[in-house]
Amino acid sequence: MNNPKAQVTSRTQTNRNEFWSIVNDCLVEFHKLTPHDARYRTHRLRNQIESAPRGTPTVSFYHSEPFDVACDLAETQLDFLTFRKQYECLLKQHGW
């Protein structure tokens, strides 16, 4: 018998993985970071978010736009409208 709770947990983890993949791709494509640097920054922030103390509202973090998270990680705020079409293509590549 399928466990509905396990299915939701699995989908949630998949969505989170895609979220971080999109952030990583934004860092490489729009901010021109090396893949290594992008992975390092993405991994470091993900660990901070996902290892936050119990009771810390981290779920709301995943309602952020990956483009904005990448800008924060790169410490450079890009004009969204300039990159909108490229960003939408990137989201489609990830099934978003």
pTM: 0.85
Q: What's the Cα-to-Cα distance from 28 to each of 12, 78, 89, rounded to whole Å?
A: 25, 13, 15
The domain tally of the chain equals 1
pLDDT at 4: 44
Residues 74-80 have a mean pLDDT of 97
Q: How far apart are CA 13 and CA 26, in angstroms?
A: 20
User: Range of 82's domain?
Assistant: 4-93
Place of tokens 């103390």: 53
Residue 94's SS3 state is: coil
Residue with tokens 């890009």: 78
15: pLDDT strictly greater than 60:
yes
Give residue-wise pLDDT tens across range 17-38.
999 999 999 999 999 999 999 9
